[in-house]
Amino acid sequence: MELELIASGKVREVYAVRDDPTKLLMVATDRISAYDRVFAEPVIDKGRLLSAISATAFTALGDRFQTHFVDVPIDVPAQFLGRATLVKRAAMIPVECVARGYLVGSAWDAYRTDGTVQGVALPTGLGFGDRLKEPIFTPTTKEETGHDRPLTPLELRDLHGIELAQRLEELTKAIYVALATWFSEHGLTLVDSKFEFGWVDGDLVLADEIATPDSSRIVRGEPGASPEWLDKQLLRDWLSEHGFRGDGQAPVLNGELIESVQGAYRQVYETLSGRSFDDWPGGHDAYRGVDR
């Protein structure tokens, strides 16, 4: 497979497949980011875990939704093994489509202010971690640099038109419900999740990663006053406890935190797949000497 690096993000690198211009190879690194900051300390095997979880989720969705997922190839350079996903090349829509099934995070902060979340009115009397009667759609812009900007339904329609805005909302909610049901069957709760979409041959398809601890909040059981986070919220909480929320000098991530994050991501994969992560292709030794 002849590859050409065409993009490098906070966590993923994207390669064009020179002998098939309709495909891309997405490679997940061990980098981790929060509050728009990429940290110097890698989480070993995080890229393999992200690829494993995302591939498992795409497979679980089956043919219920159109997606860009092709497979997890093994005919790749050794350093990419287990962390590379072959996908259809899509013209991406610059919107992060977030579905929320529970009242946590920034949604909880907004609700406490005026009872709404990005223009969506919610019932009075809800508490932190409460399950919503139905999932709500809270999209944001997808900025090249800096913070993504929350969008109300009206703002999304102004940016992308009524028809596409409605389709994005419908798809986001439907995919979230399907994945949340699958998570529940395995004793996990998909609290909220971010999705991205793009166009492939005129069809709107689900793209990027899905259902990973980087793109979702995940707990074992139900969220409550002290939820057992199995996602990047572990890092956000640790940073907040150390006085960092994106400004100034970031603290160095210690070994205990890194081990905790890796262990949480591994739990998600093994719980959803029913397999040991030890059997997933590749290994961190294969990635040694390559910039994570």
Rounded Cα distance between 207 and 148, Å, is 18
Tell me: the pLDDT tens digits for 139-186? 999 877 667 899 998 999 999 999 999 999 999 999 999 999 999 999
And the tokens for 169?
């909302």
pTM across the whole model: 0.94
- What is Dmax (Cα atoms) for the chain? 57
Residue 133 has pLDDT above 50, yes or no: yes
Give me the pLDDT at residue 143, please. Answer: 77
Distances (CA, A) of 130 to 110, 120, 197, 225: 14, 16, 28, 10
Residue 108 has pLDDT above 60, yes or no: yes
Residue 287 has pLDDT above 50, yes or no: no
Give me the pLDDT at residue 49, please. Answer: 98
Give me the pLDDT at residue 1, please. Answer: 85
Give me the pLDDT at residue 284, please. Answer: 52
